[in-house]
C-alpha cells in the first residue's frame, strides 16, 4: 500500500513511531502482523484494501506486483 495513502498513516515501530517502510495493514508495534502470511495472501489482503479505498485496477496491480520485492519476503 502506498504509505502516503495509508488510512492508518503507516505501520508503527516498537517505540510507537511510524514506520517509513511498512503500512498499517502489515506492520504494528515493530512486528509483522500475520507472520505466517504468504506473499499470495498478502497480495489478496492489499488488493481488497485498495479496492475498498477506490483504487483503480492498474494501481492495485502495481501494489500487488511490488509485494514480493519488499524486504520482508526478499531472499537473504
pTM, to two decimals: 0.72
Domain count, the chain: 1
Which carries the bigger pLDDT value, residue 5 or residue 43? 43
In a domain, 76, yes or no: no
By C-alpha distance, which of 38, 11, 34 is closest to 23? 11
pLDDT by residue (tens digit) across 45-73?
A: 889 988 998 999 999 999 899 889 888 88
Give the per-residue pLDDT at 6: 82
In a domain, 35, yes or no: yes
Instruction: Return the C-alpha cell found at 21.
Output: 517502510
In a domain, 56, yes or no: yes
In a domain, 75, yes or no: no
Residue ranges making up the domain that contains 14? 3-69
**pLDDT exceeds 60 at position 76:** no
**Which secondary structure element, helix H or strand E, spans residue 60, and what is its range?**
helix 57-66
Give the per-residue pLDDT at 44: 92
CA 71 to CA 76: how far, in whole Å?
A: 9
Amino acid at each position: 500500500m502506498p504509505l502516503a495513502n495509508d488510512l492508518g498513516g503507516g505501520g508503527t515501530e516498537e517505540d510507537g513511531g511510524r514506520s517509513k517502510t511498512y503500512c498499517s495493514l502489515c506492520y504494528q508495534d515493530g512486528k509483522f502482523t500475520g507472520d505466517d502470511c504468504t506473499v499470495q495472501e498478502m497480495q489478496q489482503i492489499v488488493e481488497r484494501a485498495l479496492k475498498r479505498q477506490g483504487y483503480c485496477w492498474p494501481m492495485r496491480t502495481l501494489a500487488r506486483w511490488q509485494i514480493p520485492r519488499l524486504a520482508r519476503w526478499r531472499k537473504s
